[in-house]
Structure 1
């Protein structure tokens, strides 16, 4: 579609809204399945025991969770660029169909006891493509919606995708509850037809729009913007926490409290579920009160939630432990939405300053939209690496002390740094995001 301009209110009301909504729904579907495939190993490790022929250690299981997280983070930048090169519809079809590779490989080898760890690590690496789907999806949807609605639209898109983490864990729970903990292939098999459906619907009903086709230098330009890196740091703490805790939660329950696979599966989906549902609220709240303000309070709450985990660990209280993790999932979900909303606001304010200085408004705001898409990709990639750090911190903490306390102290310190960053750089003192950044140049 050429000459797409979501900020043209007449065109938006005349049919643009329906086009954007259709693409958003299908984008959510594709991203949701991508997140589920990305998260498969957070469920499959619960099945891996000597009884199933996979007697991997706790450290090896954390590696199986870390590898797809890391690869998904690294692939986010090329995936974001690819959607600008090939078009939103075209790339969504590819990004959905390519998920057949890790799913079929996992289905084959998970039924063969004695398969060495390195084979599963390679397969887990290919599952990282599911996590990269997020970057191309978010870049695409940014182009469909006017700035005033981007917080809500991006929140829905990301939240619907993030729900894939919870849904695959619910599938795992149902399999363990009905068939026992010796049939991990059942979990994998559920997603084969869904991948085909997502690819087909994307091919039939999504659109390519010219505003998404940015020049290849957009990411290089965004790298030079200091706010790209401040927001990336904040996204490490929000999305990195969400995906890191979501992938590790089941293993942490087994190691910290000796939970059985069924007991762990009954609890692991709750955190990602409520965190995903909280993300659109974070985008909406940022639209109304400013991304900086919402993100600040999210981080303050995450400090309190982490402190509660340390208390729960000291008292060996499962109830307090679950309460602390629940708070972290909710607040990281809110922070995900509010942090992403800050990106178009930052570059939009930069465009306003350029117009005030005499630059052509069309060019200035086109540049702002281009940089927003590129910054979203960079922040998404860097943020996902936070999930790698969380799982590596847990692996080291449990290996050295048998508890997660050392990891929790590290998370507490990082969240404190993020509070300082938000307070100093993004006060978020005005409604709807206006004033959410200081009037210094971007």
Structure 2
């Protein structure tokens, strides 16, 4: 491993976090510094990504922007789609340009949609296509998830990557709740006719994080990539099974985070202030429950925890339908908040399933006569690739959620058809989970490789 640089902002050569002596001599401090800044960048990125989930609540005839629910749901779906599509190229960009340089660029890039939002959201008569274009630019904040995760993984040894990546993902998810809280503060202090203030709050934060990244972060010359790993992963049926599940968990978390405020306004005719007062709690609890899902998966098995999470999500969706029919606001908000918690649990447990599934496959290959080291090296390579692919595809679920709400409210004036569609999807995920549970090992069977012993109980 390279020695700790004399000053931050260096290009680290020969970096090897698995070298324990160098790690304890100072490498852990380098990793922690870069982790903190990657977390800040991702948190701000998620907030900008979900900025329009708050801004659309202000858009009303009073400020000259009286768009209907169909256009508002389309507007919040747009950054979701763009953010999902950017995740794979953003992950590759870190390996090409370096974690520091890409973090500085991608964070500074967020100034464009944030400045544009602050300017146009209070200009009466602005065409709808302008807001769609700004929302698409805000999608860059969602792509930052992949680059931050790739960067952090390069700094930490495998034994600590689960913790480091969990912190990074959780901080990003908290950005969804943070922007809702900013909206609440603006509504409380300035009323519901100043949406530009919400975007303006993030302008100095973006500048500060970009400058800190330029000053304190490092580039690593050995960010590890496996050529062809993603192409190999997409040919594996388990990759798409995991993607299907992650669409249901992370897609629901992001989609509900974008749509919850609009759904409340249309179901119960709330004011913007009343709406935002309820919308921040669900994403906040969902972000905190994500690492809990990983911990439960370690103890009980990823497939089992994910199964119960989807079962709870299906039940909660049924309660939402009932609450809508009887017009119970309290029941509706309570059920939606519990849904956020369950999506967070499912996010953590689904990601924990990935290395376990491929370790189990490697164990089967070794039993059939394959070389153990080669089989488990391939399992690790595919696991990393599937995590990247699932993160990108799963985010598209957020767009699907918002489009489902758009069609539902346009066609029937109610969210019930959308909830029915989600219920069917969760049932499909439950069926897929039954196919992913591996058969128990024979009595007295000894794993062929240490990775199998570590991962077998996590499937």
**TM-score under structure 2 length normalisation:** 0.88
Could you tell me which residue of structure 2 aligns to residue 197 of structure 1? 208
The alignment status of 1:96 with 2:107, answered yes or no, reads yes
Greater Cα shift, 80-89 or 142-151: 142-151
For 1:17-416, list aligned pairs within 5 A: 17-349=28-360, 357=369, 359=371, 361=373, 367-416=378-427
Deviation at 1:15, TM superposition (A): 4.0
CA shift digits 1:307-355 (9 cap, x unpaired): 1111211211111111111111001011111212223333455566677
Deviation at 1:138, TM superposition (A): 1.8
Greater Cα shift, 263-272 or 16-25: 16-25
Greater Cα shift, 91-100 or 263-272: 91-100
Distance 2:94 2:364 in 1: 29
Distance 1:279 1:419 in 2: 19
Instruction: Decide whether the 8 Å contact of 1:43 with 1:168 is kept in 2.
Output: yes
Distance 1:116 1:135 in 2: 32
Instruction: Decide whether the 8 Å contact of 1:286 with 1:432 is kept in 2.
Output: no
Greater Cα shift, 87-96 or 202-211: 202-211
Distance 1:60 1:417 in 2: 29
Distance 1:434 1:402 in 2: 48
Cα gap change, 1:11 to 1:222, in 2 (>3 Å):
farther
CA shift digits 1:96-142 (9 cap, x unpaired): 11111111111221232110100010111000000111111122223
Deviation at 1:35, TM superposition (A): 0.5
Aligned to 2:193, the other structure's residue is in SS state coil
Deviation at 1:169, TM superposition (A): 0.8
Root-mean-square deviation (CA, aligned residues, Å) is: 2.4
Deviation at 1:146, TM superposition (A): 4.0
Instruction: Decide whether the 8 Å contact of 2:174 with 2:287 is kept in 1.
Output: yes
Q: In terms of Rg, which structure is larger?
A: 2
Distance 1:59 1:428 in 2: 47
The alignment status of 1:421 with 2:432, answered yes or no, reads yes
Aligned to 2:219, the other structure's residue is in SS state coil
Distance 2:59 2:302 in 1: 42
Instruction: Decide whether the 8 Å contact of 1:85 with 1:214 is kept in 2.
Output: no
Cα gap change, 1:431 to 1:63, in 2 (>3 Å):
farther
Deviation at 1:255, TM superposition (A): 0.4
Cα gap change, 1:308 to 1:276, in 2 (>3 Å):
same
Aligned to 1:23, the other structure's residue is in SS state helix
Distance 2:273 2:331 in 1: 20
Instruction: Decide whether the 8 Å contact of 1:35 with 1:161 is kept in 2.
Output: yes
Distance 1:352 1:207 in 2: 38
CA shift digits 1:256-301 (9 cap, x unpaired): 1111111101011111111111112222322333322221221121
Could you tell me which residue of structure 2 aligns to residue 440 of structure 1? none
Distance 2:125 2:75 in 1: 16
Query: Where does structure 2 lack aligned partners over 5 or more consecutive residues?
Result: 1-11, 441-451
Could you tell me which residue of structure 1 aligns to residue 5 of structure 2? none
Number of equivalent positions? 436
Distance 2:305 2:333 in 1: 24
Greater Cα shift, 154-163 or 179-188: 154-163
Distance 2:33 2:361 in 1: 31
Cα gap change, 1:360 to 1:198, in 2 (>3 Å):
farther
Instruction: Decide whether the 8 Å contact of 2:352 with 2:458 is kept in 1.
Output: no
